[in-house]
Chain A
Amino acid sequence: MRGTSLRLLAVSLTLLAATACMGDGGDSSSGNASIRLQVSGEREETAVYRAVVRAFEKDNPQIDVTLVEVADKDDHLAKLATAFSAGDPPDVFLVNFREYSQFVSRGAVAPFEDHLAAQEMDLADYYEEPIEAFTFDGALQCMPQNISSLVVYFNTDLFERAGVEPPFGGWTWDEFRDAALELTTRDVRGVGIEPNVIRLAPFMWSNGGELVDDDTEPTRFTFDDPASREALEFVVSLVRDDEVVPSEREVAAQDLETRFTTGKIAMLLSSRRETPPFREVTGLNFDVLPLPQAERPSGILHSDGYCIAAQSDEQTAAAELIAYATGEQGQTITTLGGRTVPSLESVANSLAFLDPLQAPAHSQVFLDGIPDLRRTPVIPTWPEIEDLAEEILTRAFYEPGYTIDDAIAALEDQTSELFAEGGE
């Protein structure tokens, strides 16, 4: 709840920023510059950004970069929103594509597209999906650093003990359910799934359904469409009927990541961001599998991009930093840290990412899924819509007597205003 309210606050704060965000966009291509970069993440995650900044400063001694690390993502957004409103934002900040449009729609971001030529960058070297995700109002707004997606992390020891063969080549929903049942014992649950939109959407897409009525100008959720509904029913039945997913009480006592690291769940649906912390856990042997599929393979994009604040006086220096961080050297550094699936194709296919000696051994799974990636719509009110949907889906997962119909009706009723607001 705290996270939700902070995030809502962040959004309302950015509303205030509308007037304050008309930057002059001054330039200082030559001479010394001092810029600020704000990122969020755990200490292990942000270590890679520290390394990138150091390497960049070594190559560009005339530019001084202050790295501002905020541990928690909601704190990150609150700090950004306040700084923007007060007219003193960081020159560059890193955000998820599901969150950047609220900044763009209020004029807070200087499109990165304008810097591409000067920085001699060719978008053809990058995967298309994240570039599209960060394109808004017809221009590339922020420069994506990664192309992560939802995969199934699994505990190799628990698979071995249950005699389940990991299906690296792909699997169906039924095979997924059977594996989860086989892996579930008195102390272990088969799989951890969070009750939210970004976990459910790939199931809906894979079943031939849709998440929203229109990807570019959504006006409502389409959980009532038969294929989408079937996907929701499948996931909910894993929780309610098969009981292969930890109960609400179990999750409240210990979150899914912790349950995975301690061998209490055998599989966990998550993105690349779990990799660095999982590597730190002594005695945890893990690897990744593709998502199970129904009619067609489908995945969901996770991507963070570097944005330049419109108010920044150091547009060129900021663009140089971004070009470096998302270029060959910068992406190699972040990739070696384990945190990212690089958005630059050459780095993604290098050993920096595919090193089979580092867990997960089958990192190729992330790359194989790229052609089938889809994404959630980019509208300014999307973060709030997700928060509301998570509350409803949590009830659909766990609350006795709360039916799929109740959930679908609630999703329709409670989000319609936010969709309308986001479309304006």
Chain B
Amino acid sequence: MTRRMLHGAAVFGVALVFILPLAFMLLGSLRVPGLAPPDGFEWVPDRIRWANFQTVFDLVPLWGYIWNSVLVAAVAVPVTVVVGSLAGFAIATAGPVVRRRLVLVSLVALMIPVTALWIPRFVLFRWAGLIDTPIVLMLPALMATTPFFVLIFAVVYSRIPKQMFEAAALEGSSAIATWRRVAVPLGRPATFAVSVLALVWHWANFVDPLLYLTTEERFTVPLALRTLQTLEATNHPLMLAAAVIATVIPLALFFLAQRAFFVKTLDI
């Protein structure tokens, strides 16, 4: 067996692991609700019911939820990328002592359990009058959502030869200009990766809307899925239909972004 074939088999195997759950979700979403769930796996349901995708909109106001989620992601993802990229650039170009401290601070921040932040954040948001507004879901983006994203940028920018930054500085570029003209174009893979991860993070964020929102009109998609999850197992096709809808949106965005990314970076 050649290396090429081995490689192909490995790629196929990994892809299968990721595609199978999606396939089960899609197939499960087409079952007729109210029927007994299958024992074990059922590849193709006996009767296919596309109408589930309609019914689920009658059960929960899904359009509104989707719109809210899109709104949050549309603001939070770009802000996350810009803030994370700037912070990562600062770490990458700092002197050794400062850099070590900044990385340490990021790691410590990364290790704080989120649950410890629930109440302080609630108090803060309430003091600022932001409870029950979509802004509370976007605010983490001002801190790059998670220190992990900052560290991704820091690592990628650290790999760019120092001389390039120095040359830009010699030409009289400000720090911001160097970031924009040197770091961002050379670190495009990091930007792409963080955009995708941030989109997934904000799209799947369940606890923040649960704790800080009270008006149903402002709820986001994960809360709808949670509601549908409590349906009896015989109605789970409806939950899966909502899950398919919730998955398709970021997936479509991913493919669009991926095209743009490859065309720009790899010239394909």
A16 adjacent to chain B (CB < 8 Å): yes
Q: Is the CB of A66 within 8 A of B215?
A: yes
B23 adjacent to chain A (CB < 8 Å): no
Q: Annotate A17-45 by CB proximity to B: 1 below 8 A, 0 otherwise.
A: 00000000000000000001010011110
- For A45, the closest partner residue in chain B by CB is B230
Contacts of B230 in A (CB 8 A): 41-43, 71-72
Sample of 7 A–B contacts (CB below 8 Å): A43-B228, A72-B230, A79-B211, A82-B122, A83-B122, A253-B39, A261-B36
Contacts of B39 in A (CB 8 A): 253-254
B115 adjacent to chain A (CB < 8 Å): yes
Report the minimal beta-carbon distance from B191 to chain A, rounded to whole angstroms. Answer: 34
Contacts of A44 in B (CB 8 A): 231
Task: Add 11 more A-B contacts to A71-B223, A86-B122, A277-B231 (CB < 8 A).
Answer: A13-B118, A43-B59, A72-B229, A72-B230, A83-B122, A83-B211, A257-B232, A277-B232, A280-B235, A281-B34, A282-B34
Q: Annotate B30-41 by CB proximity to A: 1 below 8 A, 0 otherwise.
A: 000011110100
Report the minimal beta-carbon distance from B18 to chain A, rounded to whole angstroms. Answer: 23
The number of chain B residues with a CB under 8 A from chain A is 30
- Measured in the bound complex, the distance between the Cα atoms of B130 and A86 in whole Å is 13
Chain A residues with CB under 8 Å of chain B are 9, 13, 16, 36, 38, 41-44, 66, 68-72, 75, 78-79, 82-83, 85-88, 90, 253-255, 257-258, 261-263, 277, 280-283
| Residue among A66, A69, A79, A86 with max Cβ neighbours from chain B (10 Å) | A86
Q: Is the CB of A261 within 8 A of B216?
A: no
Q: Is the CB of A258 within 8 A of B35?
A: no
CB within 8 Å of A: which B206-242 residues:
210-211, 214-216, 223, 226-235
Report the minimal beta-carbon distance from A111 to chain B, rounded to whole angstroms. Answer: 25
Q: Which of A36, A41, A86 contacts B123 (CB 8 A)?
A: A86
Q: Is the CB of A71 within 8 A of B229?
A: yes
- Measured in the bound complex, the distance between the Cα atoms of B119 and A254 in whole Å is 36
- Measured in the bound complex, the distance between the Cα atoms of B226 and A38 in whole Å is 16
- For A17, the closest partner residue in chain B by CB is B119
Contacts of B210 in A (CB 8 A): 70, 75, 78-79
Q: A85-B122, A88-B131 given as contacts; is B37 within 8 A of A258 (CB)?
A: yes
Contacts of B131 in A (CB 8 A): 88
Q: Annotate B84-102 by CB proximity to A: 1 below 8 A, 0 otherwise.
A: 0000000000000000000
State the majority secondary structure of interface residues on A: mixed
| Residue among B36, B59, B211, B231 with max Cβ neighbours from chain A (10 Å) | B36
Chain B residues with CB under 8 Å of chain A are 34-37, 39, 59-60, 115, 118-119, 122-123, 126, 131, 210-211, 214-216, 223, 226-235
- Measured in the bound complex, the distance between the Cα atoms of B214 and A83 in whole Å is 11
Contacts of B235 in A (CB 8 A): 280
Listed from nearest, the 6 A-B pairs whose CB atoms lie closest are A86-B122, A262-B36, A258-B233, A282-B34, A71-B227, A42-B230
Report the minimal beta-carbon distance from B239 to chain A, rounded to whole angstroms. Answer: 11
- Measured in the bound complex, the distance between the Cα atoms of B216 and A304 in whole Å is 23
Report the minimal beta-carbon distance from B46 to chain A, rounded to whole angstroms. Answer: 15
Q: A16-B119, A261-B232, A281-B34 given as contacts; is B211 within 8 A of A69 (CB)?
A: no
- Measured in the bound complex, the distance between the Cα atoms of B131 and A263 in whole Å is 46
- Measured in the bound complex, the distance between the Cα atoms of B113 and A13 in whole Å is 14
Q: Which of A78, A88, A261 contacts B234 (CB 8 A)?
A: A261
Q: Which of B118, B122, B214, B231 contacts A68 (CB 8 A)?
A: B214
Q: Is the CB of A258 within 8 A of B232?
A: yes
Q: Is the CB of B234 within 8 A of A42?
A: no
Contacts of A254 in B (CB 8 A): 37, 39, 233
Q: Is the CB of A69 within 8 A of B126?
A: no
Q: Is the CB of A257 within 8 A of B226?
A: no
- Measured in the bound complex, the distance between the Cα atoms of B214 and A69 in whole Å is 8
